[in-house]
């Protein structure tokens, strides 16, 4: 009897001991995760600029802005497609200049045809060589070798040398171009893009009025193997410069459940900071951007870019400008300075956003909108203006997980999962 009781107590002992020992670690982990929770506001802090069609106010004052496209001579058809689309849906009313950038000399046929498509508002510039090449401190043979290996390992575009120059250019050098100095705002477009709704107001004016610095349409996951070292370099820069953690930064993170002190060992894993917490890989898709160049020209941003550039990751890995811009916004901007253009229909590659049309908001008799016909049906809750969402481009946004994460600091709780 006694023996059996001792036996039973002995069997129970290790478990209670384990529990007593583990409790502080579990509590610490819970507190740690809790510290990364981002409160949702009571009201929407980033409402759409427009929730129906408007009569384009062609007499209104414009902002100091430019539409920019990086293109190659052999992308003439794809470039035309984008420019036809943005002209028809927006720029025929607002007449912003459209600047085309090339790392090579322009072909006269491209210039003539695209200037015509752009309604005579085309500006054609060549990027100075020093903005589109390896920096001095990069060992070019090693970099070329690495690019070859990255291509073989299959990260998208990572085997193309020009793509690496492009990512570096858009990450930092773009904002140093002399030809852009006189502008404050830019709208970035790419060859082969469709704008699927009419944009009947001036997004630059609205951005300025509401003190926004960065506007996007699509948020999604970065391809992890293209940039294993980017997040660690970013987090190290953030820490070394004493940048205060914002809600947007926390929303981009996935805090580790690993208890202290073991969490620190995770810092050796890609996409983690020196404490072992991870970046979710969520970012804004930068091939559509409407943004304030002064943000990216700021000392803080250029210091961040230089820091990344010195690390060599634009070549030894394939750090993308989308992730770089997004991480910088999360560090250096307030979440309320970021705008989601959920009313803009946009497609590039296989990714798209296409809003539902606003009920009763289509101005069917407007003469200025006469050409922007027909449109897909109106539905309750829609905010689109004459959106044409057909086939698989039908309605809604891509990658709701990242979109929800990045909008979290500005969006009140809705439904069960958001
Ligand atoms: C584009 O067309 C406009 C109007 O025809 C013309 O004034 C301008 O010089 C052209 N620009 C270029 C770069 O050809």
Ligand 1 close to Cβ of residue 111 (< 6 A): yes
Confidence check: pLDDT of 393 > 60: no
Which atom of ligand 1 approaches the CA of 124 most closely? 13
Q: What pLDDT does residue 350 have?
A: 84
**Active-site entry in 75, 87, 222, 289:** 289
For atom 5 of ligand 1, the residue with the nearest CA is 120
Separation between Cα atoms, residue 218 and residue 417, nearest integer Å: 19
**H-only helix segments in 210-286:** 230-240, 247-252
Separation between Cα atoms, residue 96 and residue 282, nearest integer Å: 31
| Stated pTM of the model | 0.94
Ligand 1 close to Cβ of residue 97 (< 6 A): no
Radius of gyration (Cα) for the chain, nearest Å? 25
Separation between Cα atoms, residue 158 and residue 149, nearest integer Å: 9
For atom 1 of ligand 1, the residue with the nearest CA is 120
Identify whether the C-beta of residue 389 lies closer than 8 Å to the C-beta of residue 395.
yes
pLDDT band at 5 (very low <50, low <70, confident <90, very high): confident
SS3 at position 2 = helix
Q: Of 5-9, 28-32, 42-46, 72-76, which gets the smallest average pLDDT?
A: 5-9
Separation between Cα atoms, residue 319 and residue 288, nearest integer Å: 18
Confidence check: pLDDT of 257 > 60: yes
Q: Given 3.20.20.220, 1.10.10.60, 3.40.50.720, 3.90.550.10, which CATH number is that of 65-345+392-410?
A: 3.90.550.10
For residue 69, give the DSSP letter. E
Confidence check: pLDDT of 418 > 50: no
In tens, the pLDDT along 78-106 reads 999 999 999 999 999 999 999 999 999 99
Confidence check: pLDDT of 8 > 80: no
In tens, the pLDDT along 206-251 reads 999 999 999 999 999 999 999 999 999 999 999 999 999 999 999 9
Domain spans, the chain:
65-345+392-410
Ligand 1 close to Cβ of residue 106 (< 6 A): no
Q: Of 176-190, 346-360, 380-394, which gets the smallest average pLDDT?
A: 380-394
Separation between Cα atoms, residue 15 and residue 365, nearest integer Å: 76
Q: Of 145-159, 262-276, 388-402, which gets the smallest average pLDDT?
A: 388-402
Ligand 1 close to Cβ of residue 125 (< 6 A): no
**Of 86, 82, 74, 81, whose CA–CA distance to 110 is shortest?**
74
Would residue 289 show up in a list of annotated catalytic residues for this protein? yes
């Amino acid at each position: 009897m006694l023996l059996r009781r001792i036996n039973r107590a002995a069997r129970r002992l290790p478990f209670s001991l384990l529990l007593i020992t583990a409790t502080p670690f579990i509590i610490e982990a819970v507190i740690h995760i809790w510290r990364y929770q981002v409160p949702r506001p009571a009201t929407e802090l980033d409402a759409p600029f427009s929730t129906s069609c408007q009569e384009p106010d062609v007499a209104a004052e414009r902002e100091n802005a430019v539409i920019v496209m990086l293109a190659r001579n052999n992308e003439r058809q794809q470039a035309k497609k984008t420019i036809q689309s943005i002209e028809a849906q927006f720029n025929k009313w607002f007449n912003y200049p459209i600047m085309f950038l090339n790392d090579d000399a322009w072909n006269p046929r491209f210039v003539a045809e695209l200037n015509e498509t752009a309604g005579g508002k085309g500006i054609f510039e060549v990027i100075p060589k020093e903005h589109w090449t390896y920096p001095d401190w990069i060992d070019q043979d090693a970099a070329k070798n690495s690019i070859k290996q990255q291509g073989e390992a299959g990260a998208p575009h990572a085997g193309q040398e020009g793509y690496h120059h492009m990512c570096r250019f858009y990450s930092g050098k773009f904002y140093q171009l002399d030809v852009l100095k006189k502008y404050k705002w830019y709208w970035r477009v790419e060859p082969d893009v469709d704008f699927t709704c009419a944009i009947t107001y001036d997004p630059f004016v609205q951005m300025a009025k509401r003190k926004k610095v960065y506007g996007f349409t699509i948020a999604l996951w970065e391809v992890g193997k293209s940039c294993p070292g980017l997040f660690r370099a970013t987090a190290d820069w953030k820490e070394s410069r004493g940048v205060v953690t914002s809600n947007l930064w926390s929303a981009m993170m996935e805090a580790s459940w690993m208890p202290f002190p073991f969490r620190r060992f995770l810092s050796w894993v890609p996409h983690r900071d020196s404490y072992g917490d991870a970046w979710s890989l969520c970012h804004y898709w930068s091939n559509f951007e409407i943004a304030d160049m002064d943000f990216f020209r700021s000392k803080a941003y250029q210091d961040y870019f230089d820091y990344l550039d010195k690390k060599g990751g634009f070549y030894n890995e394939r750090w993308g400008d989308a992730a770089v811009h997004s991480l910088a916004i999360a560090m250096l901007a307030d979440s309320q300075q970021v705008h989601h253009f959920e009313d803009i229909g946009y497609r590039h590659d296989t990714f798209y956003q296409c809003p539902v049309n606003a009920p009763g908001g289509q101005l069917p008799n407007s003469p200025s909108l006469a050409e922007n016909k027909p449109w897909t049906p109106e539905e309750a809750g829609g905010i689109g203006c004459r959106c044409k969402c057909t086939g698989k481009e039908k309605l809604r946004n891509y990658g709701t997980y990242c979109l929800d994460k990045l909008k979290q600091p500005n969006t009140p709780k809705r439904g069960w999962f958001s």
